[in-house]
A and B are shown apart, each in its own frame.
Chain A
């Protein structure tokens, strides 16, 4: 895999190769519901990049929302509190 990468480098921004696109698409397909149903040969690089950016942005938003929610739910992480017991059971 590393030899393939060395042959097709992305020296500038527009140099992302077809192989890398196919690789990205197949991996993203498992992550992104939008791309899942499309045939690989029809997906354009720009569309994949767009979906990727949208997905990252939505994940960022989810982290922000969850931080908000957690800040209201978790008053403290005291050693003896109920939350600590929950957390301990999550880690085990």
Chain B
């Protein structure tokens, strides 16, 4: 799955714009400050390129806007006032369909429990899946809130990260003396 070039361009545009808006060209910025600004604006640009269509991107922007006054200010500079941004609350609460599915799964679980024969290996596997899913959730922005959409969001997040890395790498390569 090659990253789409349109997503690359979208990310690059937003990132460069963000860097400019963050007064990146301040001559007396320390290297540490510059690195933080680069990473921060790259993350915001990556999330903003999704235009609020994914949970992780909304969560990333929302988390950045909360974290202390400095980041909040930067996010505002990069993306404009909050009224223009899609809210995090959208699509996080389980839909009606999701609740119906949960009910069906609970009932089938009850039935399946009676038929189970070998418990040991399947419970170890289940434990591993549970543990690793928790880890995965901790790696994705807003992951703790996701249930049904976790897989979908993971794939989109990975694809966006790949785009981010590709673009940053190209820029680094191009800027090398």
Residues of A with Cβ closer than 8 Å to B?
Answer: 5-16, 20, 23-24, 27-28, 30-31, 44-46, 49-50, 52-53, 55-57, 59-60, 62-64, 66-78, 83, 86-87, 90-91
Chain A neighbourhood of B104, CB < 8 A:
7
- Looking at chain A's contact residues, the main secondary structure is helix
In the complex, B106 has a CB within 8 A of chain A? yes
Assess whether B172 is in contact with A66, with CB atoms less than 8 Å apart. yes
B148 touches A14 (CB 8 A): no
Cβ proximity bits B140-162 to A, threshold 8 Å, 1 near / 0 not: 10000001101100110111011
Interface of B is mostly: helix
Chain B: how many interface residues by the 8 Å CB criterion? 61
Contact A67 B39 (CB under 8 A): yes
Which chain B residues in 89-117 approach chain A with CB under 8 Å?
A: 97-98, 100-102, 104-106
Query: A71's contact among B12, B34, B150, by CB below 8 Å, is which?
Result: B34
Check A76/B24 contact, CB under 8 A, given A9-B148, A55-B158, A70-B171: yes
Q: Min CB distance, A22 to chain B, in Å?
A: 11
Contacts of A64 in B (CB 8 A): 39
B27 / chain A contacts, CB cutoff of 8 Å: 75-76
- State whether the Cβ of B60 lies closer than 8 Å to any Cβ in chain A: no
